Structure 1
Amino acid sequence: MKKTLLFTGTLIGSLLAGHAASAASYTVQKGDTLSGIAKKYDTTVDRLKQQNHLSSDLIFPGQVLQIDEQSESEQAVSNTYTVQPGDTLSGIARKFGTTVDALLKLNPSIADPNFIRAGQALQVTGGQASTNTYTVQPAAAAVNGQYIVQKGDTLSGIANKFQTTVDRLLALNPQITNPNVIRIGQAIKVAGGATAVRAEQSVSAVKPVAAESSASLADRIIEIGEKYLGARYLYGASPSRTDVFDCSSFTMRVFSEAGISLPRTSSAQAQAGRTVSFNQLQKGDLVFFDTDSNGTINHVGIYAGNGQMINATVSLGVTYSSLTSSYWKTRFVKAVRVLN
């Protein structure tokens, strides 16, 4: 009998110890968000709110949150979500601290982001995202901003690879006289340097050092942005980091290096400066989008001229994107000019 009781006590103790080992606590730091903490601990915002009896997403520095680490079986379940009546893709994205774009990449079976059905199983984390995200990273293919032409390459293909245009490559590489003729082993500049090229080609009188013109300041902003091409995307990235960005930490960082202060979020940045129309866009203007189609600004980029913007995207990190593409054009909300 004693042996049985001893075994039972040992078993219960082991189970309790095992349960305790799966639990953790986290002290909220300045700048933390509930979705960021959920990602860090491979859990969900809803799970954190339930565990800590939170009625909203509001948290504050110094607050201690209880976090139950999920077992592998629980994580496998939490990677998918079953659509409930009344759900929308943007609502599900908010619930799991992600974006509609990320959900569409994880669920290629969704042909129309405005149409999902009750009972449908959606992948919300992991899986395809871990293998398909950041498949194109210009920084990895370019050395010091240059790309070496490979067999079968074309200038338009290289432009697509680095999310830019043939015209921009020609501007960066004046030695290319025929865009249809490039040779294997040729070094082509794919990032940066555009300001220096223009400066060498221009002939100008000596100007007072006083104030930098808005045009040259815009060029400098684009040049600053280009040095981060290929940096990965991280939602909620600290503005002090330069290895990863989200859309508004990128614009905030670029403008701060040019001596201009911007608020932290895209919605707040949309209130800075003077509103301009799409047809009035100038290099250096901030352009804003509603990618969830819910009436709220949630993405920002920097207009770089020729219908292009430089921005931090979920799938490609810091890259060039075309404002005339059907995706960005239909989601455009407004533009503001913060340069004088």
Structure 2
Amino acid sequence: MKKTFILTGTIISSLLAGQTAFASNYTVQKGDSLWAISKKYNTTVETLKQMNHFTSDRIFPGQILKVDEREDTYVAKAGDTLSKIAKQFNTSVDALLKRNPEISNPNFIKAGQTIRLSESSPAPVRPVTTKSGTNGYYIVKERDTLSGIAKMFNTTVRSLLALNPEITNPNLIRAGQSIKVTGEKAPVPSSSQRVSQRTLVSAASTTSSESTTKAVNSSLADRVIQIGEKYLGAKYLYGASPSRTDAFDCSSFTMRVFSEAGISLPRTSAAQSQVGTPVSFNQLQKGDLVFFDTDFDGTINHVGIYAGNGQMLNASTSKGVSYTSINSSYWKERYVKAVRVM
């Protein structure tokens, strides 16, 4: 009886190995170990740990592991090019452009940018913005151009530049940027007023620009929180694939939410902490990313979205996607930094 059981188990294992040999992810089963999984996929324990950012050999049933170097996404490094990445993952530049429509210039990618390598990777969902914009303003979406926006609003690039003097290069606008599309230019001071009013006009222009930017950022932040709230109650799963919406770990949750708002983030919390603009704790605004070191080992391992009033929207191990106070003793003593990506 014992020999029959061993033979049957071997046959079943062989069949399972045949079914999963070409998958990039593997769901841990009861009794699995990193050593057994590494043998099944012809790799090493150390390689599996590196691919999954593990610091120990501990795994648990239901956990999703990356078992193939051909990942769904790739975070660009300094010096990377799209052709280099295509060669590395045995694909083509055209295929990568198709899977990453936000890349308008194949010769320009930046360090920290997330490149989708397969059709299963989540594509960014553009924010819902009406043609009329918000109070005469239009929020730039991925792949927008100033000439395209001008056509959309039956105007000219020159008129848009006049309405938006902060745009110094008409060929360089970014997703999330607010562009004034209706209204009149500010009145030009008379020659006798220009010298005396130059400083005041400059200050007023700066204040107006800052106010507009804050209003737009606030609107986008509300959108981010709205997207995040639709996943409230989703369970926590360490190493969850970014394509899943029923389960998240902390960084797959933030990556998914910001992706749906048209903003690309790297996959891990440590990598996400390196993008955007750092902000101090007392300057936190809704939509900022907040980072923590829960193990007190000097390594960032948790990220959440600041939602205002001391609240954070995050995927935690104990409650899944939920709200929590960053001013609680637990989170406050583990807080490391915050960044603004909008």
TM-score, length-scaled by structure 2: 0.49
TM-score, length-scaled by structure 1: 0.49
